[in-house]
Chain A
């Protein structure tokens, strides 16, 4: 247990350090968190007594039959089986003109949305996942991250009408730990770094 505690504390330490350097070197952070999570992941089998399996990795390219046939999407067997369970998905965070609070969109390719000009005549691919923050984080805006991002959450497949009238088909519910709130200093630093690189 002590080992786990030490590891998890250093993970937290890494996270805090990483956060301060986030604005300056996203790649460095990615490396740090990859390594730290990697170290953490190795200790899971020892820590968890029950037979809980790690979340299944699901590729956006495997969501439905590809290429799309002449009509609509045909959901793949793999996706159907993964409904309701914890999955890991890797994709790009959609850059939105106005960030939607409490959620972000994940796609297999980077997309910029010009919502004012285009509305729903958009460049979103069919495999677009609406990633939801925890219910207590509904008023948070997720910092747009460039490059690939991996998220883990509970997968939900099915038709749902969003607040803005859009229809979503694939949703991922994140745990609260998936999002780390930046403190005021970090936000200021982050915004400051937007003006020029150090």
Chain B
């Protein structure tokens, strides 16, 4: 047989044909995430769930050619086809940059597995030309074992950004030391068990408050900025594959209620990361809407904090509501319609003009707008409670206490007055009210209390403000501890989502406050630092005097505690409390126009004779660190929380205690007396 000689062109064509015959569709993402899919290694297992805990399956499938498409996909667990509709969504323009328009997301919503152990997950997709592709991942179902006493109530007190140094500083300020012995411990110091928690997120050793919270209440790692979801390739912040929260799981299986108390804007990541599923912690309108719309899933009964700006219709001045941050699932497109079907979630709507506050009240929530109205609410007769005490974040403890003390002297015009919210409650007062309301719950509750500005003020490297916020947080802890001592089926944990700012207690001031002020006026770096910072034995024992209201009468004491920051940005340090600014009428020098400006570039900063501490992180704020944080536990099952544990482990310990009863961790079992 004679073959025609191949021209170079036809040879090339043949080569091209041969090449394209090897191209095939690919799977670029398989959810839940696994090392098996990412790198081929079966361990460590990344995604873990309780028996019966719901989660979504998803895969991103890419055709090998712009002209082709994905015609079908199916999932299997341990080789068995998964029950449930597979929703296909073609990306078009709705996916992240770099993801081709014909890439397809395949999702199955709200699956669950009961059998303990590691399971294999496979996705098989078929391309329009008949080619197929299969990818494999894994996940684990963590068993629940027979235990002892069952826990009825869980209280999670989360000090945002609160590492060991923050706790130590609060103890020095609040309790003082005598010849090396702590005089009065913090409430959190008296918890019998303390462990160390590893806080890494799904995509970094340095986490943020979103995955920092959700690890504790979903048992899974999330990406930074994402809460209650695994990452996906679409730009929609509300369509991500979900993971059932502790609150949802316990509400669904046991009828428990959920309470959220925070000093932050209630839409912020820590409170939202107990009830709302989103890949954008900043999607405020949708987040607060879902608090109400999905309360049948979470059992939300108490919600208190700041953030009133999200609850007003967008026509009300000050409202922050907008369609850009809202949610609305399709009734026809299975990609999001299946979220509604599978989870029983609300479909939502782009409704920036919604009177959310009114809707909460119509849903039976009693509303408190300040401390006075909160005090007037009888917790014993209240079914549901909403408290919105500030426009965004509440003012910090130092400023709230300053407002109260001055008001008692007949002086107004303080920070809280200028913010327009002169009567904000303290975190412990909010916690007390929340506990009264939740105590009515026959099936028990999950309560999350957050000391939010410990972190926010550490970002600002404002030492005194985060120290006092830690004191405020400890007062709330004392209340939770007292409640648990009375209600012996209550488990309390005090923890943090991560450490903030690399706080270091470097020593004590060698000088009096008066001398310090003189040195500040003289200004200049090393001269001031060397004159002030007392290290080693020069630090001594800083002594703060506590007033009757439980806070220091002043933080500008002689020989004050000095704090350095390991994850600091550039800052001007003078070791004094950041000024309480005077009102305009009293300020002698006011800069008038023109203001100085320059083309975009380096940031400007003002000096005023202070001592410049060069930052180790870029920008204007200190950053989170990867350092482990202490977790303290009180109540039945407390011993489960000892050791060096992962933040996701906490979820399984809490669930075990609530579902099958408390157990000792493996290493301690042998110590239990028979």
Question: Which residues does A use to contact B, with CB under 8 Å?
Answer: 15, 19, 22-24, 26-27, 29-31, 33-34, 37, 59-61, 64, 66-75, 90-93, 95-99, 101, 108-110, 112, 114, 116-127, 133, 137, 139-152, 157, 159, 161, 165-167, 169, 174, 177-182, 186-187, 190-191, 193-197
Q: Would you give the 0/1 interface string for B573-594, flagging 1 where the beta carbon is closer than 8 Å to chain A?
A: 0000010010110010111111
With an 8 A cutoff between CB atoms, is B607 at the interface? yes
**Stretch with Cβ within 8 A of A (4 or more), from B35-43, B419-427, B488-496:** B419-427
In the bound complex, do residue B373 and residue A70 qualify as a contact, i.e. CB atoms below 8 Å apart?
yes
Is B523 in contact with chain A by the CB < 8 A criterion? yes
Task: For the A-B complex with A71-B369, A99-B604, A152-B593 known, give 5 more contacts whose Cβ atoms are closer than 8 Å.
Answer: A68-B420, A70-B369, A99-B603, A148-B581, A149-B591
Given contacts A64-B420, A144-B604, A149-B591, contact A70 B367 (CB under 8 A): yes
Rounded to whole Å, the gap between the CB of B243 and the closest CB of chain A is 22
Partner of A68, one of B391, B583, B596, B621: B391
Of the candidates A116, A120, A142, A157, the one whose C-beta lies within 8 Å of that of B320 is: A120
B591 near A33 with CB under 8 A, answer: yes
Whether A194 touches B597, Cβ cut-off 8 Å, given contacts A70-B369, A96-B620, is no
Contacts of A109 in B (CB 8 A): 415, 418-419, 581
Is there contact, CB below 8 Å, between B599 and A121?
no
- We find that the number of chain B residues with CB closer than 8 angstroms to chain A is 83
List the 3 closest pairs (A to B, CB-CB), nearest first. Answer: A143-B604, A121-B268, A70-B369
Q: Of all chain B residues, which has the CB nearest A140?
A: B597
User: Which of A15, A121, A141, A186 has the most chain B CB within a 10 Å cutoff?
Assistant: A121
The total number of A-B Cβ pairs within 8 Å is 264
Contact pick for B456, options A118, A159, A180, CB 8 Å: A118
Given A95-B620, A149-B591, A190-B604, check contact A66 B581 (CB 8 Å). no
Tell me the smallest distance from the CB of B291 to a CB of chain A, in Å.
14
CA distance A142 to B418 in the complex (A): 25
A sample of 6 cross-chain residue pairs with beta-carbon separation below 8 angstroms, ordered by A number, consists of: A117-B208, A117-B459, A141-B601, A143-B597, A149-B595, A167-B320
Q: Any chain A CB within 8 A of the CB of B392?
A: yes
Known: A141-B603, A187-B598, A194-B607. A159 touches B315 (CB 8 A): yes
> A72 to B322, Cβ gap below 8 A?
no
Check: B384 CB closer than 8 A to any chain A CB: no
Report the bound CA distance from A166 to B325 in whole Å.
10
Please tell me if the beta carbons of A72 and B420 are within 8 angstroms of each other in the complex.
no
- Indicate which residue in A24, A37, A93, A126 contacts B420 across the interface (CB closer than 8 Å): A126
Please determine whether B605 and A144 come into contact, CB atoms closer than 8 angstroms.
yes
**B146 at interface, CB cutoff 8 A:** no
- Asked whether, in the complex, the Cβ of A181 is within 8 Å of the Cβ of B621, the reply is no
Residues of A with C-beta under 8 A to B455: 117
Which residues from chain B contact A140 at a C-beta distance below 8 Å? 597-600
CA distance in complex: A187, B596 (Å): 10
Interfacial chain A residues near B422, Cβ < 8 Å: 67
Q: What mask results when residues 235 to 272 of chain B are scored 1 for a CB within 8 Å of chain A, else 0? A: 00000000000000000000000000000110111000
Tell me the B455-477 residues at the A interface (CB within 8 Å): 455-456, 459-460, 462
- Residues of chain B lying within 8 A (CB to CB) of residue A67: 417, 420-423
Residue contact B265 to A120, C-beta cutoff 8 Å: yes
How long is the Cα–Cα vector from A15 to B528 in the complex, in angstroms? 32
B591 touches A118 (CB 8 A): no
Given A97-B620, A145-B595, A182-B596: A122 in contact with B420 (beta carbons within 8 A):
no
* Cβ-based interface call for B393 (8 A): yes
Q: Which of B346-396 contact A (CB under 8 A)?
A: 357, 367, 369-370, 373, 391-393
- Cβ contacts under 8 Å, B597 to chain A: 133, 137, 140-143, 179-182
B564 at interface (Cβ–Cβ under 8 A)?
no
Q: Which of A99, A126, A177 contacts B593 (CB 8 A)?
A: A177
Cβ-defined partner of B317 (8 Å) among A64, A117, A181: A64
In contact, B392 and A66 (Cβ under 8 angstroms): no
B552 in the interface, Cβ–Cβ < 8 Å?
no
Q: Smallest Cβ distance from B274 to chain A, in angstroms?
A: 15
